[in-house]
Amino acid sequence: MTAITPDEVAHLARLARLDLADDELAHLAGQLDVILTAVADVSQVATADVPPTSHPLPLTNVTRPDVVTPSLTPDEALAAAPTAEDGRFRVPRILDEEV
């Protein structure tokens, strides 16, 4: 596999919503490269005839009866919010200025 550049790491960090300092980006670039090279051996045995496993249990669509059950009160739900206002979570603006 090809080496990961600091630019690619910066792109990944944006996708992952992680604000990283330049020194973190540089340090991570080297480490990600080593790790991804080491784990790339999975492709050696993953031949076309092997089906993938996403989960250890063969479960499909587990449902419960459609009955109302007790849940959190608004006060309980908001108790740990960084900021709340009028019984709602207060969040920063959701649109960027250039949009």
Partner 1 sequence: MADLSLVRRSADDLAQALAAGEVSAVEVTEAHLDRIAAVDEAVHSFLHVDGEGARAAAAAVDDRRAAGEALGPLAGVPIAVKDVMTTVGMPTTCGSRILEGWRPPYDATLVTRLRQAGMVLLGKTNMDEFAMGSSTENSAYGPTGNPWDTSRIPGGSGGGSAAALAAFEAPLAIGTDTGGSIRQPAAVTGTVGVKPTYGGVSRYGLVAFSSSLDQAGPAARTVLDTALLHAVIAGHDPRDSTSIDTAVPDVVTAARAGALPDGIRGLRIGVVRELGGEGYQPGVEARFREAVDLLAARGAEVVEVSCPSFAYALSAYYLIAPSECSSNLARFDGMRYGLRVGDDGTRSAEEVMSLTRGAGFGAEVKRRIMIGTYALSSGYYDAYYGSAQKVRTLISRDYAAAFEQVDVLVSPTTPTTAFQIGERVDDPLAMYKADLCTIPANLAGICAGSFPCGLADEDGLPVGLHVMAPAMADDRLYRVGAALEAALAASWGGPLTTLVPDLPTTTEVPA
Q: Distance between CA atoms of 2 and 77, rounded to whole angstroms?
A: 46
Of 68 and 80, the one with the shorter C-beta distance to partner 1 is 80
Work out which of 3, 5, 7, 18 binds partner 1, going by CB under 8 A. 18
Residue 4 contacts residue 29 (beta carbons within 8 Å): yes
Nearer to partner 1, 19 or 66 (CB): 19
Chain residues 30-89 in contact with partner 1, contact rule CB under 8 A? 31-32, 34-36, 38-47, 50-57, 59, 62, 64, 72, 76-77, 79-83, 89
* Long-range contacts (CB closer than 8 Å, 24 or more residues apart) made by 23-32: 29/4, 29/5, 32/4
Per CB under 8 A, 26 contacts partner 1: no
DSSP secondary structure string, 17-50? T----HHHHHHHHHHHHHHHHHHTTHHHH--TTS
Q: Which residues contact partner 1 (rule: CB under 8 A)?
A: 1, 4, 9, 12-21, 24, 28, 31-32, 34-36, 38-47, 50-57, 59, 62, 64, 72, 76-77, 79-83, 89, 91-97
